[in-house]
Every structure is written in structure tokens, then in C-alpha cells.
Amino acid sequence: MKVETAQRIHSVKEYYFSTKLREVAQLRKEGKPIINLGIGSPDLPPHVTVREKMASEISKSEGHGYQSYTGIPELREAFSRWYQRKYSVAIHADEEVLPLIGSKEGIMHISMSFLNPGDEVLVPNPGYPTYQSATRLAGGVNRPYLLEEENGWLPDLDALEKEDLSRVKLMWVNYPHMPTGARGKEELWSRLVKFGKKNNILICHDNPYSFILNPHPSTIFSVEGARDCCLELNSLSKSHNMAGWRIGALVGSSEILKEVIKFKSNMDSGMNRAAQLASAVALDLGEEWYDSLNKVYRRRKEIAYKILEELGCHYQTDQAGLFAWGRVPETVKDGYAMSDQALYEADVFITPGGIFGSGGEQYIRISVCTEEKELTEAYERIKELVKDKKAVQ
């Protein structure tokens, strides 16, 4: 007996890292000492007070039942304080914050809440692949908009205005941008809000890298009128080393969030209470936490840049986020070719930029979620690989 799968599953493939990490695991099983510089999963732990709060709460006999679909008040209030302290923006804790089981969940919730079959979605190219996958699963139609290095990896809204946008319902934006590390300029928020209002498009800003090597964290809600046409996803995964905890939030007007809750409340029953209380502690951490985290990432990124240099890649030195993004030399076919060579000849896994869209095919991405010693070893391997290649030319 074989049960036929749903048509929606035919529209997507298994996530790239899901399959690639299995290959990396198999190579290691075969004895290959692979260094993984691919996925951006923080290797450092959350702050000790966060872990202590989790341990204390989880040991209690109460608090293990189903939790609210909208998160506990303590977590919503902590997100509200965080937005006020870090972004200087007032967010109503009870009406404008919806805690999520990680922000990736929110991308699907938004798509399912607002898209009908045939609705179009503006997605960045290059950009986070989940935007396109969620659109397809919800029955929508992806409409990629090209981001180019020459334009600072920012959307060309003037060019988009000249197109027929009548079927476009959502637009995904993400600054600091993944995978390029580009920082969104302040005037971008104002232009996006005007663009969304004029064209009746819901602007969805994905903001998980706001505090990683980004001197001026910002939110789209710093612009007046943003609540009328915008949503923002935020997360503790990168900023607080809590990727596996799956704690995020969707911020927006109560009217828009109420629509998302209709879908979300049918899909989950809220996060573990202890994890929510510990996350509230994380959100209240002072500047020393962010400074110490960025100090580590700054040293690591310098090594990642050295790897790009050794490979002959062109790159910008002011990249925010957990990655180093570089354009492969013209002598190399594309990022896939360079990634394969590094993996199979130097035992170093580097992400090919093409997985983020056609606009990334000539690029590679290096994660700095690896301790300095291992990054240095990867650099030495790449250096030796390049040396050997030159010797046989």
C-alpha cells in the first residue's frame, strides 16, 4: 500500500542543510575530519543566569501543562521592555507581541494566515530559502526581487513600483541581511512603509541578526505608520545563543496579530513555561552580554575573512550577522564548485551561495559559529589546498 502525498509537498524540496548535514555526518563516520563552517547555529551557551533560571523552573512540580497560545505575560512583557530598551520603540505587551516557537514558525504562520492560492509574494534573491518554501506550501506564488552587491544588497523599490503589483500580498525583507550581512539603512524603513501602504502589501521584516556585529540595531517599527502595514519577526536564537530553545516573537498591531493567532492556535499549544521564564531573563540582560558576544564573533570573522582572501574571494568588511559572504573569483565556475572543492579536497564545509537564490550563485558563505581554534585549522587547510593547486598549475 502506498498513500499518495499531498500536492503541496511536491512544490518543495527537503531543506538544503537537512540533506547536506547528513552527508557531512556520513563523511565523518567514514573517518573524514570535516570542519563544518556551514550552518549558523551558535556554539556558545546562553548566559549562566538564563540556564540557572531554566534549571530552577523545570525542577518545580507545577508549570508543566499546556501553556497559553499567546505566551505567558512575563515573556510578552520582557519582549516589550527589550524593544523599548534596545530600539527605543514602545510595544504593547498584551496586544502587539505574539511569542513563537522560533521565528521560522512565524514565517509559516504568516503565510498560511494571509495567502490564498495564486497570491504573489515578493521574496529577496538572495535570501532565506524558507520564505519561498512557506509561500509554496501556503499555495502562493513566489516573485523574487533581485538584490545586488552594487546596490548594497538593498531592494530597488523604484523598479518594483513600475511593475504590476496587483496580485502581491506580502513582501519579505531581512536586515541585517542573511546571507550577505548587509545592514539596512535607516531610510529603508520609511520607504518600505510607504511602499506597503501605497500598494496594499503587508511588509514582513525578519530581524534575527539585529544585535550581531551591528553597531546600530533597528526595527521597522521606528517609523510612524509601520503598524498599519508591517510585521516583524525577532528571535533569541542568534542574539542569546538559544537556537535550540525555539523562542521568538512576532510583533505588530493587535488587528494583524489576531489573524495570525487564528492559525497558530490550531497548530500548537504554546512553549514550555520554564523556557519562557528563562527567556524573559535573557531579554533583560545588559549591554555587557551583547558586547562579550560580539567580541568573540569579531575575532572569528577576521579569520573567516582570511579564508575568503585565501580563496581569492571579494568581500565587504562591514558585514553584520554570523557569516562572512564573498564573491568567488572568475576562474571558478560558481559557489557550488568552490564549496565542493573545499569539502572533498580540504575537509572543510562551506555553504554555496546559490542555495539562497540565483543572485547568490557566484558567492560562498562561511559561518563563524565555530571556535577560533577550529576556524584557524580550516584556514590552514584551505591555505594548503590553494598552495597545492598553484603548484600543479
3-class DSSP string for 62-74:
CCCCCCCCCCCHH
E strands in 156-229: 168-173, 202-206
Amino acid 388: pLDDT: 74
Single pTM value for the model = 0.94
Query: Cβ contacts of residue 165 below 8 Å, gap of 6+?
Result: 199, 201
Dihedral of the alpha carbons of 183, 317, 366, 279, in degrees to the nearest 10: -40
Could you state, in order of their start, the residue ranges of all structural domains in the chain? 7-45+288-391, 48-286
Alpha helices in 173-314 (DSSP H): 186-199, 254-264, 273-283, 287-310
Q: Which portions of the chain are predicted below pLDDT 50?
A: 392-393
Question: What is d(CA 40, CA 325) in angstroms, rounded to the nearest whole number?
Answer: 13
Q: Which long-range contacts (CB under 8 A, 24 or more apart) does 68-71 make?
A: 68/270, 69/261, 69/264, 69/265, 69/268, 69/269, 69/270, 70/98, 70/99, 70/261, 70/270, 71/97, 71/98, 71/99, 71/249, 71/270, 71/271, 71/276
Is residue 386 within 8 Å of 310, Cβ to Cβ? yes
Question: What is d(CA 36, CA 103) in angstroms, rounded to the nearest whole number?
Answer: 24
Amino acid of residue 182: A
Amino acid 243: pLDDT: 95
Is residue 379 within 8 Å of 306, Cβ to Cβ? yes
Question: What is d(CA 71, CA 284) in angstroms, rounded to the nearest whole number?
Answer: 17
Amino acid 1: pLDDT: 67
Amino acid 392: pLDDT: 44
Comparing CA positions, the residue from 47, 25, 43, 23 lying closest to residue 240 is: 47
Domain 48-286 has CATH 3.40.640.10: yes
Comparing CA positions, the residue from 121, 88, 179 lying closest to residue 361 is: 179
How far from chain centre, in Å, is Cα 227? 22
Q: Rounded to 5 degrees, what are φ and ψ at 288?
A: -60, -30
Class of 7-45+288-391 in CATH: alpha beta
On the question of a common fold for 7-45+288-391 and 48-286, the answer reads no
Question: In the beta sheet, which residues pair with residue 24?
Answer: none
DSSP 8-state symbol, 3: P
Give the strand order in the sheet containing 230-235: 97-100, 248-251, 230-235, 202-206, 168-173, 120-125, 141-146
